[in-house]
Amino acid sequence: MKLRDAPSACPSLWRCLPCPPAELRLDLVLSSAQSFRWWESSPGAWTGVLGERVWTLRQDRDRLWYTVYGEEDEHEEEERDGCSAKAAKLDGAEADGILRDYFQLDVGLSALYRTWEAADPLFCKVAKDFPGVRVLRLDPIECLFSFICTSNNHISRITAMIERLCQAFGRRLCCLNGRTFHAFPSLSALTGTDAEDRLRALGFGYRAKFVSGSARAIAEGLGAEGLSQLRTAPYAEARKVLCALPGVGAKRYGVAAGGKSLTPRAYQEIGDFFRRLWGPRAGWAQAVLFCADLRKSQQRASSRDQAWDSRSQDSHGNGPR
């Protein structure tokens, strides 16, 4: 199956969920620096790894379409032709459940937007252009180590780093249209004695120490299951446990203090302000504003690049005549 195939072209290979754009916008959510494992494989179609399988997702009016690719066995890996994986025979209810959990579709987003718009004029101004921005329910291991990689970094470099991480430490899943996909590394894969050196060789720099150190700390302490259980722990408790890990600390997007680091008290006060303003899902509202700022920043960068290209062409006599 080719990535360019539309759902209507191969109905037997695709399933769908009811999901209007006001509840989910794939193009905004999957490019908003929450997960770094999705790429726009063809216009409107996004391919990535979820639950140790490779998926392609796309939207059509009020439906979310998806197909899932099967894993290669050793024989298929050796004999594959054209590097195109086959659609997997996955239980429909199971697949629906994975997507519902990942996108947290049980949370009514439209109602939350109305609440945030009523509480915050800034949110109201942004919301109409950025509907359907949800917080993904990422695997805790992938979430933790992906965001350790975000320190002093930008999206394209983070994405490339995580791709190298998965290729070097993750299990191969399948090859699709010339691109090989790997699962995110297990905790045990990142605790080897040579893990830090291998990560440095992959270009992780000082983050290599944090990734390998956090992997060992989790393996020797609360374990992968304990990390997952932090999802239901009180916020203060979960933050305390996470901030004890190497490379994990407080972060607040868009806050400046004259170039100085914010104190723990200042972080707490800022967080409390937004929790009072936006309510119990304040992090979701912040994700919408972050997405808006990110998209505007990308548009400005694109405009600068186009202006630079134009000036460069003019300086070499290649501009419009």
Out of 45-59, 73-87, 272-286, least confident range:
73-87
Which one is predicted more confidently, 178 or 34?
34
Q: End-to-end CA distance of the chain: give it in Å, rounded.
A: 46
Phi, psi for residue 181 in degrees, rounded to 5: -115, 140
Q: Which residue among the candidates 125, 251, 260, 296 is catalytic per the annotation?
A: 251
What's the one-letter identity of residue 250?
A
Beta bridge partners of 58: 45, 65
Q: Report helix, strand or coil for 17.
A: strand
What's the one-letter identity of residue 316?
H
Residue 249 — pLDDT band, cuts 50, 70, 90? confident
pLDDT at 114 over 70: yes
Which token pair is 206?
A: 């000082």
CA angle, residues 95, 291, 54, in degrees to nearest 5: 25
Out of 83-97, 182-196, 217-231, 301-315, least confident range:
301-315
> What is the mean predicted confidence (pLDDT) over 1-20?
64
- Number of independent structural domains in the chain: 1
d(CA 191, CA 211) in angstroms, rounded, equals: 9
Give the residue numbers spanning the domain of 121. 11-185+250-283
Tell me whether residue 268 is in a domain.
Answer: yes
Report the relative pairing of strands 53-60 and 63-69 from DSSP bridges.
antiparallel
Beta bridge partners of 40: 46
Tell me whether residue 89 is in a domain.
Answer: yes
Residue 316 — pLDDT band, cuts 50, 70, 90? low
d(CA 119, CA 278) in angstroms, rounded, equals: 7
Tell me whether residue 137 is in a domain.
Answer: yes
Q: Report helix, strand or coil for 177.
A: coil
> What is the mean predicted confidence (pLDDT) over 181-185?
96
Q: Please, are residues 190 and 145 in contact by the beta-carbon 8 Å criterion?
A: yes
Tell me whether residue 225 is in a domain.
Answer: no
Tell me whether residue 123 is in a domain.
Answer: yes
d(CA 211, CA 248) in angstroms, rounded, equals: 10
Which one is predicted more confidently, 57 or 90?
57
d(CA 284, CA 113) in angstroms, rounded, equals: 10
**pTM, to two decimals:** 0.85
What's the one-letter identity of residue 191?
T
- CATH of residue 276: 3.30.310.40
Tell me the pLDDT tens digit for each residue of 288-310: 999 999 988 887 776 666 666 66
Instruction: Report the pLDDT value the prediction gives residue 321, as an integer from 0 to 100.
Output: 35
DSSP letter assigned to residue 36? S
Distances (CA, A) of 49 to 17, 69, 76, 104, 185: 19, 10, 19, 17, 12
Instruction: Report the pLDDT value the prediction gives residue 51, as an integer from 0 to 100.
Output: 85
Instruction: Report the pLDDT value the prediction gives residue 285, as an integer from 0 to 100.
Output: 97
Which one is predicted more confidently, 193 or 82?
193
Confirm whether 89 is a catalytic residue: no
Instruction: Report the pLDDT value the prediction gives residue 92, as an integer from 0 to 100.
Output: 84
Tell me whether residue 69 is in a domain.
Answer: yes
What's the one-letter identity of residue 172?
R
% of the chain surpassing 70 pLDDT? 81
Instruction: Report the pLDDT value the prediction gives residue 5, as an integer from 0 to 100.
Output: 47
Instruction: Report the pLDDT value the prediction gives residue 297, as an integer from 0 to 100.
Output: 83
> What is the mean predicted confidence (pLDDT) over 270-292?
94
Tell me whether residue 307 is in a domain.
Answer: no
What's the one-letter identity of residue 308?
W
Residue 20 — pLDDT band, cuts 50, 70, 90? very high
Tell me the pLDDT tens digit for each residue of 135-181: 999 999 999 999 999 988 899 999 999 999 999 999 999 998 889 99
Tell me whether residue 214 is in a domain.
Answer: no
